[in-house]
Structure 1
């Protein structure tokens, strides 16, 4: 397939901040973006050439959207897989299979295990008896997670004692129970894979979470992560190759005394890669668009000695401009109308070059 010509249209499913930054990167490369998402605070709309506000179930609207685009991608892994039925497979990057695997935590873990990856111990939980057996087999403490639609700490409950198993009575969907992993640090592997199967990696940051939400990413990541990043990269490449992946893919890991333990994957650009906008030769957003468009991939080397990316969550964005008093500091506000607890309103990146 030939690279997309300048002026071509790339469709983005989803209207959040990742779509916003993808559309801005696409415009820089000479492409126009059309977004598609249901009613909501679609902050990608103001920077897109056009934006369709329609339901995921509107098959006719999705077909019209796809017909306008030379290529289609997504910025949100909870796009219903059925919405992709209206989009020709040859236009869709990454492929449908990536979304199918990543949307189901059980499927995701089995997929990674089959490729030789190591995960936390886990068990399927559909009934109270399943949870009791999982607790007996895996032990306490652990984490009960919905199999679908959980992100940023949503759909997760810590099981600290056998009495907490009553949490299952409030669930209305299949779940998975995971044993806790003793780890020294959390990190992510972010790669881009082109249409020609070339794979490039950015440096792995150390990630710090608060309440299940990424608070900040730091680079250099430290000795423990440095010693395990190569093994984690090997697994990430196996995942990308097995999926026939095109675009940016992120795998999150725990650095443990026995090597990297896979946590979860995101088939999209990722919050822990925001630092690449200023801190790498080519950002994750530009390289995703390059891959989708069939262009040569950009250099992923870091261009700063140290990088700190800090999420502005909820009210933390109220005085965001105060961050600009620091030297090599870069502010990104997403244009969201309402600050709520746990809501990502923007991010700040600080560098030393």
Structure 2
């Protein structure tokens, strides 16, 4: 079988590596020049995009910001999973909010802004503590602005003055005092079968994910069930096929949807080491019509992103249960260069291993690692 992935980054690379043992050949599309490339070497392949589409059993995406004309071409083949509508929802916060409203899933109180003067009414309706998000092309903290008090509004309006809000509206959200950020990763196949992974707890720094721990600590059965229900409503509401990630705010015993991602997701990388069948493997199974694999966690896991650096000791691999995934990119500030998965039998042991890991890393690039190691280490073994 053959799968063509739109996007030629690390997610396509990991799909390729997971597909090989199943006999699934994965090719990638560099969407900037529309060339078909090898997902690992990035070398152009001797095939046109049209030929690759014709040869593929399934087409999919590694990120949601694929040019629409390419998505339309892929959709016409009848082999694009998830659908073009699902991908476009993930690429546009306005469409995303409309979906959440339509299917009745709780999310942050918000307003859509197409003119700067509408920000005054946003303060009246939502309060003076607001997060403003570009409806398209924003990720990892980019395309976002914060308002913490109304006296800052005039300066913020000046900052936003050059934006074309008619073309790319802002989604203005009430800034919530949530307890923590968690995410649910699940998969739905062509027959409507669903598998859902345990909730992961996500630690961010300057809008970018740095550490995920799975299963998340102190998750009740009711909270996990609530997350699974949200996933099911969204997946079935979109007729979704493939892996879907749902980022959530936990506010007491309620989960509110922050964002959805119609693809394999950074907060699900722990599944490569901590689950019997990874999110990448299950995504390929879903889009090609193979039976879905189990999604239970085998051990407790932490995923640590390597961001903006390449200088660290490879001796970290001496830590039992430590796995390095390197993406082969040129170093750039805030760029995800790779990730490290660490597994353990319990959270206290995981804390010990993360503390050991910190000795091999330049900690200025890993601002969440030491505190998380201490928190986990303080827990009694279950």
TM-score after normalising by structure 2: 0.83
**Per-residue Cα deviation, 1:180-225 (whole angstroms, up to 9, x for no partner):** 1111111001001111110001111100011111001012312257
1:111 deviates by 0.7
Does residue 195 (structure 1) correspond to residue 190 (structure 2)? The answer is: yes
Separation of aligned partners in 2, 1:201 and 1:46:
27
Q: What are the equivalent positions in structure 2 for 1:66-81 lying under 5 Å apart?
A: 66-81=53-68
Does residue 310 (structure 1) correspond to residue 297 (structure 2)? The answer is: no
Matching residue of 1:11: 4
**Per-residue Cα deviation, 1:81-101 (whole angstroms, up to 9, x for no partner):** 321222235211111110121
Matching residue of 1:352: 344
Matching residue of 2:147: 159
Q: Runs of 4 or more off by more than 4 Å in structure 1? A: 48-54, 224-227
Among 294, 303, 312, which residue is 1:299 paired with?
294
**Structure-2 change in CA distance of 1:327 and 1:258 (3 Å):** closer
**Structure-2 change in CA distance of 1:159 and 1:249 (3 Å):** same
**Per-residue Cα deviation, 1:97-139 (whole angstroms, up to 9, x for no partner):** 1012111111101211221211111111111111222122211
**Per-residue Cα deviation, 1:301-342 (whole angstroms, up to 9, x for no partner):** 1111x2111000001x32152421311100000011x21111
**Per-residue Cα deviation, 1:242-295 (whole angstroms, up to 9, x for no partner):** 111111000000010250011000000000000001100100000000111100
Among 103, 119, 134, which residue is 1:131 paired with?
119
CA contact (8 A) 1:193 1:199 kept: yes
CA contact (8 A) 2:12 2:39 kept: no
Q: Secondary structure at the match of 1:90?
A: coil
Does residue 146 (structure 1) correspond to residue 138 (structure 2)? The answer is: no
CA contact (8 A) 2:272 2:279 kept: yes
Separation of aligned partners in 2, 1:167 and 1:126:
15
Separation of aligned partners in 1, 2:49 and 2:68:
12
CA contact (8 A) 2:16 2:39 kept: no
Separation of aligned partners in 1, 2:307 and 2:147:
26
Structure 1 stretch displaced more, 109-118 or 241-250: 109-118
Separation of aligned partners in 2, 1:103 and 1:49:
24
- Which ranges in structure 1 are unaligned for 5 or more consecutive residues? 1-7, 55-60
**Structure-2 change in CA distance of 1:49 and 1:104 (3 Å):** closer
**Structure-2 change in CA distance of 1:225 and 1:333 (3 Å):** farther
**Per-residue Cα deviation, 1:131-190 (whole angstroms, up to 9, x for no partner):** 222122211211111101111111111122323233321323321111111111110010
Q: Secondary structure at the match of 2:212?
A: strand
CA contact (8 A) 2:190 2:286 kept: yes
Q: How many residues align?
A: 335
CA RMSD after TM alignment:
2.2
Q: Secondary structure at the match of 1:262?
A: strand
CA contact (8 A) 1:36 1:65 kept: no
Structure 1 stretch displaced more, 61-70 or 320-329: 61-70
1:27 deviates by 1.5
Among 213, 221, 226, which residue is 2:216 paired with?
221
TM-score after normalising by structure 1: 0.89
Does residue 25 (structure 1) correspond to residue 13 (structure 2)? The answer is: no
